[in-house]
Structure 1
Amino acid sequence: MIYCSAVRNRRILWWIVGACVVVLLGGGGIAIAVTSGSGDGKPDASGSTPAQPGPLATSAAPPPPSPGADITGPLDLVLIGVDTRVSIPDWEPHADTVMLLHVEADLKSAYLYSLPRDLRVKMPKYAKAGFGGGTYKLTEAMSRGSRVPGSKKHSVEQGYELLTRSLSSYTGIEEFQAGAILNFGGLAKLVDQLGGVDLRIDERVESRHRKPDGSMRTLRGGDYVGPQAVYQPGERHLEGWQAIDFARQRYGLDDGDYDRTRHQRQLVEAILTKAHDQGLGQNLSQLEGIISALGDTLVYLGGRTPLEYAYALRELTADGITVVDLPGAGVGRGGGYLGEQLTAESRGFLKALVAGNPDGYLAKHPKLINK
């Protein structure tokens, strides 16, 4: 269990949401933006009241620095969404959603963006999995990397390692400090724990998977049949299954997976807004329920603990996050579909990010900013 002290000045629970979005940290695990004890006599996370110095108190040794106080930016974090239970030992993972969060050196501003699951990337050789390298869809990196030669078992950690190496090769980002893998069930639980979310739906979306009552549609002949849940444009309140169902759809949309990743980023923002509006950081019982609800639907990977990263990001607010769209288009050979490639403008943003000038680039390419 992870505890936190009161969250102030619209400081957000970035790592809880990041773990959910995978759909990033976002890149990530479950972590909560925290502040160190204020010494104001208010109860701390354990429910006790810090002792106050008496009138004859002498100077005391300064308290040790909070865990994570030594973490510096910039940071690059990965959120990975999957549609299978992450706790199944022989599960072969596929990265259905890859969302990245770049946090600037001041740890107060960040850029949230997605890469298409079918993006064609060069994957390096990976001896642990007996993988010889090559150019494949990004979603395949986890599955190819997860294979254990001579065994039917799969290693999520290996899959994550090949995925991040492939991301480094494509984006030029040398290191990803942490990552989170979350399935759709875990994200639905989070939304329900918040009492649903309010989302501005920007286009009509028909569900491939769910009926209007939330039950699964019938799979017949390789496709789903029967009545469909439909999400109409406008301001909508969505419960857990609706929010996840809406955010995972790509078929029937004008821009397919690009529309889907935009909807997923919008869902992240809606979750952040709901968490802030509820003052979630100051409600320990509700916060504990949310963390417990995620259970084994989450795998966290990173060298430091989630709580340490959470403390480091305690001043990252929703206003400090710029959501970026990276458009692309399909590529093929001989009439066959091979995958996706980003536009030159989108690739330019990644170069600017690595070079430390994303703000300047977006000033010249404002259409990439998702408003």
Structure 2
Amino acid sequence: MGGDRVAKSAKRRAPLWARLSAAFGLVITVVSGGTLATGQALVAKYTGGITDNSLLETGAAQAGPAKKDIKGPLTILLVGIDPRKSTTPPLSDSIVVAHIPADMSTAYLFSIPRDLYVDIPADAKSGVRAHSGKINSAMALGSQVNGKIDVVNGFQLLSKTVRNVTGIKKFDAAAIINFGGFKKIVEAMGGVSMVIDMDVKSEHLQPNGKQRPRLSRCPANRNNSNCDHPYTGPQKFYPKSSKSVRLQPWEALDYVRQRYGDNMSDYDRQRHQQQFIKAMAKEAMSKDVITDVGKLTKILNAAGESLTFAGGGHTPIDWALALKGMNVDDMTTIKLPGGGLFEGKSYLGEKFGPGVDTFFTAVAEDRVAPYLVDNPTLVNKNG
């Protein structure tokens, strides 16, 4: 009967504790992924999305993770995919690791370059043989099982590859973010505010947000090695700013996808994606979201459509409550040095620069904060 009263009062303003719980949950959605509750019963009812703890089963040593209290230190793997079709093997366009220290007061975000040239382990289910290649191919290759697309298996192979590269023994939570659904989260938020740390021209969009036209020699239905940059005409421009700038949803999503341009590379795109995650987390905890139940509900509904989440047997709300002391403003984004790897004149992919191995050791030993004090150049200034 009490549950009926809650359901009937869904349109009334939710109490502060419920709004805060949902906002904390949204921070977890952004930082670590998750499907969250909506409406007045924000901490009781779930809608949309997939909760699939098999994401954490990356081998016999980790099969069937036992549920235990959520205590730091914690390490979370967050992967962004943008499949054009459900029948297309998904490439991991964005690979972000979030490390939360033992006191669970903040989070450190760092990216794995999608073109990092690594050893990809064998996978019996998909038939992948051990070989070397770009890390973003691991998920696509592992997803091809018996003529069908098995995204979870692809994620497991990617997770194993990332763990081998970083020395991280296990991930405490994991998430796959689908770009289409993630776009709806940003739209529900009404945009985000962030510092534009360099001049950026859009490869894809015109100043009015519409798609740039393609060159006549580069039709969309044809693969052409001479069409790495197939668009023409005016470009949307994001000028460097010293202060936070409010970006409309389409602007924010376009800005963080860019990696081409003057003095720009995929490392800049990685940095901007990390800054974007932090900006969205701050947005989730802002008064504009916490005090607006309708807006919060809309955002959480959108979140449920975009994410596949594994929390080690815990719900996203469990994670939200465990991390309620996290200071979003203190979240730190980290730039790991790297550069191109060549075999003769042939480009193989990217490689990490000197010192990255010692950073990964600091992550494993939960001493990232003192490590960054000694290595301040790894900290993004606007992150």
User: Structure 2 length as normaliser, TM-score?
Assistant: 0.78
Cα 1:15–1:209 change in 2 (3 A) is farther
AA in 2 matched with 1:143:
A
Contact 1:185-1:297 at 8 Å conserved across structures: yes
Cα 1:311–1:13 change in 2 (3 A) is same
Partner of 1:36: none
Partner of 2:98: 101
Secondary structure of the structure 1 residue equivalent to 2:72: coil
Contact 1:11-1:317 at 8 Å conserved across structures: no
Contact 1:12-1:318 at 8 Å conserved across structures: no
Q: Give 1:268-347 correspondences, 5 Å limit.
A: 268-304=277-313, 305-347=315-357
Q: CA RMSD in A?
A: 2.8
- How far has the Cα of 1:310 moved from its partner? 2.0
Cα 1:31–1:346 change in 2 (3 A) is farther
User: For residues 211-251 of structure 1, what are the alpha-carbon distances to aligned partners after superposition, in whole Å with 9 as ceiling and x for unaligned?
Assistant: 11111122332311222111111143211111010001001
Secondary structure of the structure 2 residue equivalent to 1:315: coil
Secondary structure of the structure 1 residue equivalent to 2:349: strand
Partner of 2:47: none
Q: Among 150, 153, 160, which residue is 1:155 paired with? A: 150
Q: Among 192, 198, 207, which residue is 2:202 paired with? A: 207
User: For residues 185-210 of structure 1, what are the alpha-carbon distances to aligned partners after superposition, in whole Å with 9 as ceiling and x for unaligned?
Assistant: 33332222122222211111111111
Partner of 2:239: 232
Cα 1:232–1:182 change in 2 (3 A) is same
Secondary structure of the structure 1 residue equivalent to 2:89: coil
Q: Among 179, 191, 195, which residue is 2:190 paired with? A: 195
User: For residues 230-281 of structure 1, what are the alpha-carbon distances to aligned partners after superposition, in whole Å with 9 as ceiling and x for unaligned?
Assistant: 1111143211111010001001152401101111111122222222223534
AA in 2 matched with 1:77:
I
Distance 2:200 2:109 in 1: 23
Distance 2:262 2:28 in 1: 25
Q: Tell which deviates more after alignment, 286-295 or 10-19.
A: 10-19
Secondary structure of the structure 1 residue equivalent to 2:114: coil
- How far has the Cα of 1:311 moved from its partner? 2.0
AA in 1 matched with 2:235:
Q
Contact 1:12-1:272 at 8 Å conserved across structures: no
Cα 1:293–1:359 change in 2 (3 A) is closer
Contact 1:12-1:316 at 8 Å conserved across structures: no
Contact 2:110-2:335 at 8 Å conserved across structures: yes
Partner of 2:274: 265
AA in 1 matched with 2:93:
D
Q: Among 121, 124, 135, which residue is 1:127 paired with? A: 124
Secondary structure of the structure 2 residue equivalent to 1:191: helix
Contact 2:74-2:100 at 8 Å conserved across structures: yes
- How far has the Cα of 1:13 moved from its partner? 4.0
AA in 1 matched with 2:89:
E
Partner of 1:65: none
Secondary structure of the structure 1 residue equivalent to 2:128: coil
Aligned length: 330
State the identity %: 36
Partner of 2:165: 170
AA in 2 matched with 1:270:
A
Partner of 2:143: 146
Q: Give 1:27-42 correspondences, 5 Å limit.
A: 28-31=33-36
Partner of 1:63: none
Secondary structure of the structure 1 residue equivalent to 2:110: strand
Distance 1:174 1:112 in 2: 17
User: Structure 1 length as normaliser, TM-score?
Assistant: 0.81
Unaligned runs of at least 5 residues, structure 1 = 33-42, 48-67
For the pair 1:252 / 2:261, whether they are aligned, the reply is: yes
- How far has the Cα of 1:183 moved from its partner? 3.0
Distance 2:370 2:22 in 1: 26
